[in-house]
Amino acid sequence: MNYTATTADPETFSSLAGPLPTNAVIETILSRSAAKYYDSTATLSDDQIRDLVRIGTSAPTSFHLQNWRFIAVRSPQAKARLLPIAWNQPAITEAAVTFIIIGQLADASTVPERLAPVVEAGIMPAHLVPEWEGPARGLYDNQPQRQRDEAVRSATFGAAAIIYAARSLGLGSTPMIGFDAEAVHKEFGLAEDEVPVMLLTVGPERPGNWPQKPRLPVADVLHFA
């Protein structure tokens, strides 16, 4: 499939303290930065958008719940609906697509349904399904905070996978929390058990975006126990 591609700048890695092991995946992660400027004339096809979401759904979820959903806002009309409830940020209209990344409240009753294809594929024996459903019910039933935490966690994992997949394909991306969650929920018809976790703009970039910003030293954030 043909994507508009850019290459990682080797100088991106020059600020790293000491040599790191490297391969294509690591270089993709270390060269990613939040894009501010997008090529507003560029588009992504339906298949390209489906590819990104398919990759996103390979991310892990608790008990294989797959409790997420993705709305691809890419038509001018949909962008116009999203723009005023996303703080009028230019990326909403300039990026090829803005995903509304949705987490669904963790619902343990869906475990048998989610695991059915796993059993059918011969990955999991059927007798293990109740052994997964029971602990899931113990963890989430009548636990609204845990249900919501899992919705946010799952959606974030999915968004992260899309971010790095986009980078590997030469596309920019920016996760955004600047939006009116209640308005997005209403305007785009989210279900009662759905949480709009973030917006994620994706598309070919135009010049002017910064490289990845320096991070805190590992010594400041890592402790061995």
DSSP string, the chain: ---------GGGGGGSSS-----HHHHHHHH--B---B-TT----HHHHHHHHHHHTTS--GGG---EEEEEE-SHHHHHHHGGGGTT-THHHHSSEEEEEEEE---GGGHHHHHHHHHHTTSS-GGGHHHHHHHHHHHHTT-HHHHHHHHHHHHHHHHHHHHHHHHHTT-EEEEE--S-HHHHHHHTT--TTEEEEEEEEEE-B-TT---PPP---HHHH----
Token code pair at residue 169: 């394909």
pLDDT at 175: 98
What average pLDDT does the segment 175-203 reach? Answer: 98
Confidence bin at 12 (pLDDT 50/70/90):
very low
Mean pLDDT across the chain: 94
CB atoms within 10 A of CB 24: 9
pLDDT at 8: 44
The span from the CA of 17 to the CA of 214, in Å, is 10
**pTM of the full structure:** 0.91
Confidence bin at 17 (pLDDT 50/70/90):
low
What average pLDDT does the segment 158-180 reach? Answer: 98
Q: Pick the closest to residue 112 from 89, 92, 130 (CA basis).
A: 130
- 1-10, 56-65, 129-138, 145-154: segment of lowest average pLDDT: 1-10
Confidence bin at 127 (pLDDT 50/70/90):
very high
Taking every pair of Cα atoms in the chain, the longest distance, rounded to a whole number of angstroms, is 56
Q: Phi/psi class of residue 72: alpha, beta or left (left: φ > 0; alpha: ψ in -120 to 50)?
A: beta
The span from the CA of 54 to the CA of 110, in Å, is 20
User: How would you label 182-192 residue by residue, b for 16+ Cβ within 10 Å and e otherwise?
Assistant: eebbebbebee
* pLDDT tens-digit readout, 134-152: 999 999 999 999 999 999 9
* pLDDT tens-digit readout, 22-33: 999 999 999 999
Confidence bin at 1 (pLDDT 50/70/90):
very low
pLDDT at 51: 98
* pLDDT tens-digit readout, 92-119: 999 999 999 999 999 999 999 999 999 9
- 3-12, 93-102, 122-131, 167-176: segment of lowest average pLDDT: 3-12
What average pLDDT does the segment 172-198 reach? Answer: 98
